[in-house]
Structure 1
Amino acid sequence: MTVSAAERRTRILQVVRDLGTVKVVDLATRLGIPAVTVRRDVAALADAGELARSHGSVALPDTGPQARPGRPDQVVGMLVPTVGSYFDEVIAGARAAAATAGARLVLGIAAYEARDDRAQVDRLLESGVDGLLLTPNWQPGDPPPRPGDQHWLAELPVPAVLVERKAAPGSPAAELDAVGSDHRHGVLLALRHLAALGHRTVLLAARADTWTAHQVRTGYTEGAPLLGLGTRPVIDMHRPGAPIAVPDPAWVAQQIAEAAADGVRAVLVHNDQDAIQLPPLLRNRGLRVPEDVALISYDDVFAALAAPPLTAVSPPKKAVGEAALDLLLRRLDGPPGLPASHLELLPALKVRTSCGGDGAAV
């Protein structure tokens, strides 16, 4: 027999009256109701002032601190498009912040190719998470991002924070909390450094298949004119016309060598994994880093391990994870109706051997 929403909520209130403070996941188990449904009912009861929510648990309002014996453990679900390289540090930051707060982090992976964000989020919700840190697979080639792709994000039954993603203005997901790196500022740091070395034109070699790559490309288009720098068409790390869309560093090195023959000897490369392969390929073409070409990589995951060590733009990856987790906990702990926060953290430039310059380069 189907139980109405009113009946479910009456049963929820009765259990809370009997037990005082109850974790939402325990409430779902006790009532034999899916956790997702209980969260929706709890949210409605809280909005009506009949329940108070805190730390993933519920209690009657104005029951006082004596009815809360301590902070219950919280479970935070985190969705990322990959593990390894960039997101390892973001995850590490969130994990450290969760441990400090007494919370537990549960990881879900929706690979770039799979595009199954919603299915992975549903699995995290079924596991009983109290809140979500989300890095959706919004690709630069999408109609940025399609409204239909975002409505479900605005209808989640638990609080959520976007991580290293910014929703389209006016879209439902734009009303979610968000924490990310200001990649356009990161590109500006690189361009400014190269300009200070005397370069008047800077190349960009970049991927085109990730959110960060799109931000880096936009930062280059916007930043170079601000500094009075000349630009060239972006060198795509995926060689045009190749049967398989995989990075082709040898082809990129050839494009850089041809530009160097025209006097352009400064290049920003997204990302480290691709940039680290370029110095030996350029050397095979008669160009040394940094003597003949100044090279900056973007991401700073492997840059220090290159030969020579690469100057790199370093987004605050760990700090992004920490700030996102802290923001989510504040959302869980705070009163209803708090305004959404959009927080952008600034990257830094780590200057290493790969950026020499004699002031005569263009």
Structure 2
Amino acid sequence: MLPTIKDVAHLAGVSTATVSRVLNGAESVSEETRVRVQRAIAELGYRYNALARGLKKQQTGLLGHIVPSIAGPVSPALARAVEDQAQKFGYNVILCNSYDSIEKERAYIDILLERRVDGIVMSSPILDEHIITIRERGVPLAIIERRAETSGFYYVEPDNFKGARDAVNYLIKLGHRRIAMITGPSGTLISRRRVEGYATALGDAGIPVDPDLKAEGDYSRASGFRAMQRFLDLKPRPTAVFAANDAMAIGAMQAAHQAGLRIPQDISFIGFDDTYAELSIPPLTSVHQPLYEIGVLAAKLVVAQIRGTIDQHRMENVLPCYLKERESCGPAPV
């Protein structure tokens, strides 16, 4: 005979209601009780009938997560966090990779709605009309990293402005005044916030923003390399470079190395994200953004909407970043 929820409760020494709360990922259960119930489940080989629960509650036990690209380091970290937290709540996740395509993003939204997912997490949604479509269908939604100003949606993102400002302030304290920036694609909120942080730090220090010291990239290593080649032609060239992500910073470092510059003796570099940073030579100083915590909170926001407990959360969630100092920065050369 297959074990029942009553068998699990008896072995764990708790009520069936407590077992049910553990199975549904309720946060009101203590960690010690949760572990005891999970051990009883494993020992008995109990299988939770999620399908039966879904039919009873008219839910599927599925969440959708749409990401712009699974190829880079950011989306996989977010996807892992969303899935980890969703499973704690008893949900499985359908991961959709839009390849930053408007058509694919729209198609995946349609597929997820057809599958009657209980909620959706969207990382950097491309079009506002897509998230409006989800809201109009009454499906709970949480956004990770908005591309544009939106209102009326639950979202979570890193403090891009302060992270960038802190990075440039760090370079200023090291004596740098010709500080270049490799930005992300123009027109996105993410890129704009990081540029604003860069410009604010310079302005606060009385350093004018020089348009020649800004170059737009596309978050790829190759675009960072190309931007640095242009900076190297300037007279005088910059003594420090802040890049809007680690890949572009590493591409810029490679261009500087090919030009015979020593890092950090001749030029300093800072990235953003803290993903590839430890793999560069020398290791890259980078703004660390809490990717795992962002993904976890996004999953919590969706599930809270499903369960009617969203009043416990804020609609706008901006998580702090911090500068991870390594070996790519030094005093400004004399």
Q: Scaled by the length of structure 2, what TM-score is found?
A: 0.73
Question: Are 1:79 and 2:66 an aligned pair?
Answer: yes
- 1:38-89 alpha-carbon deviations (Å, 9 max, x no partner): xxxxxxxxxxxxxxxxx977669xxxxxxxxxxx883211111111311111
Q: Could you tell me whether the CA contact under 8 Å between 2:165 and 2:197 is conserved in 1? A: yes
Q: Whose helix fraction is larger, Structure 1's or Structure 2's?
A: 2
Paired amino acid for 1:183: N
**Among residues 103, 119, 126, which one is paired with 1:131 in the alignment?**
119
Question: Are 1:204 and 2:178 an aligned pair?
Answer: no
Alignment of 1:290-305 (within 5 A): 290-305=264-279
- 1:149-189 alpha-carbon deviations (Å, 9 max, x no partner): 553243133111111116535xxxx2111111121111011
Paired amino acid for 1:76: L
Q: Could you tell me whether the CA contact under 8 Å between 1:73 and 1:102 is conserved in 2? A: no
Deviation at 1:232, TM superposition (A): 2.3
Deviation at 1:352, TM superposition (A): 0.5
Give the Cα separation in 1 of the matches to 2:92 and 2:241.
42
**Among residues 156, 171, 189, which one is paired with 1:179 in the alignment?**
156
**Among residues 231, 234, 257, which one is paired with 1:256 in the alignment?**
231
Give the Cα separation in 2 of the matches to 1:214 and 1:336.
29
Aligned to 1:231, the other structure's residue is in SS state: coil
Deviation at 1:227, TM superposition (A): 3.9
**Among residues 226, 247, 265, which one is paired with 1:273 in the alignment?**
247
Aligned to 1:160: 141
CA shift in 2, pair 1:201/1:156, >3 Å: farther
CA shift in 2, pair 1:340/1:153, >3 Å: farther
CA shift in 2, pair 1:336/1:326, >3 Å: closer
Q: Could you tell me whether the CA contact under 8 Å between 2:286 and 2:323 is conserved in 1? A: yes
Question: Are 1:328 and 2:302 an aligned pair?
Answer: yes
Question: Are 1:221 and 2:208 an aligned pair?
Answer: no
CA shift in 2, pair 1:150/1:95, >3 Å: closer
- 1:108-161 alpha-carbon deviations (Å, 9 max, x no partner): 1212144432221111122231111112543xxxxxx66x55532431331111
**Among residues 257, 266, 283, which one is paired with 2:257 in the alignment?**
283
Give the Cα separation in 2 of the matches to 1:56 and 1:357.
60
Deviation at 1:202, TM superposition (A): 1.6
- 1:194-229 alpha-carbon deviations (Å, 9 max, x no partner): 111111232101231665334322332344313433
Question: What are the ranges of 5 or more consecutive residues in structure 2 without an aligned counterpart?
Answer: 1-52
CA shift in 2, pair 1:114/1:177, >3 Å: closer
Q: Could you tell me whether the CA contact under 8 Å between 2:67 and 2:123 is conserved in 1? A: yes
Paired amino acid for 1:332: I
- Equivalenced residue count is 277
Aligned to 1:151: 132
Q: Could you tell me whether the CA contact under 8 Å between 1:308 and 1:354 is conserved in 2? A: yes
Question: What are the ranges of 5 or more consecutive residues in structure 1 without an aligned counterpart?
Answer: 1-54, 61-71, 139-144, 239-244
Q: Could you tell me whether the CA contact under 8 Å between 1:165 and 1:211 is conserved in 2? A: yes
Deviation at 1:274, TM superposition (A): 2.2
Aligned to 1:117: 105
Paired amino acid for 1:341: M
Give the Cα separation in 2 of the matches to 1:215 and 1:276.
21
Paired amino acid for 1:106: I
Paired amino acid for 2:322: A
Aligned to 1:93: 81
Q: Scaled by the length of structure 1, what TM-score is found?
A: 0.68
Deviation at 1:325, TM superposition (A): 0.6
Q: Could you tell me whether the CA contact under 8 Å between 2:124 and 2:147 is conserved in 1? A: no
